[in-house]
Amino acid sequence: DAKTTQPTSMDCAEGRAANLPCNHSTISGNEYVYWYRQIHSQGPQYIIHGLKNNETNEMASLIITEDRKSSTLILPHATLRDTAVYYCIVRVGYSGAGSYQLTFGKGTKLSVIP
């Protein structure tokens, strides 16, 4: 799986958009970008994933650059409950039987400030 690089920490004012970057310059053509977050000591939570098109769901938006070497997770209106460690994970997508385990890197600790 491709290696990712994320900032160690970021702050965001409550109600503002949080933009979390991720570099994955060695990503392969069949690898997806996944985002998970972990609120203090809870189990990690899936947020969103994408291959090359921008994606949006009820939690966030994912913007992937055209060369796919980097991406940005956007939380449009951050709340205090969004304070968490955010993990950008690159791996092959599901294609049948197999493990598809997640390899967690260091992640970005996002602090949402009142």
Binding interface with another protein (CB under 8 A): 32, 34, 36, 38, 41-46, 49, 85, 87, 93-94, 97-107
Q: Among residues 16, 36, 42, which one has the least CA distance to residue 107?
A: 36
Q: Which is nearer to another protein, 18 or 85 (CB)?
A: 85
* Residue showing tokens 């409550």: 14
What's the token pair of residue 27?
Answer: 């990503």
H-helix or E-strand containing 109? strand 108-113
Q: Which is nearer to another protein, 72 or 104 (CB)?
A: 104
Shortest spacing between CB 4 and another protein, in angstroms: 12
Shortest spacing between CB 98 and another protein, in angstroms: 6
Q: Which is nearer to another protein, 97 or 114 (CB)?
A: 97
Shortest spacing between CB 114 and another protein, in angstroms: 26
Distance CA 44, CA 21 (A): 19
What is the Cα 48 distance to its own chain's centre? Answer: 7
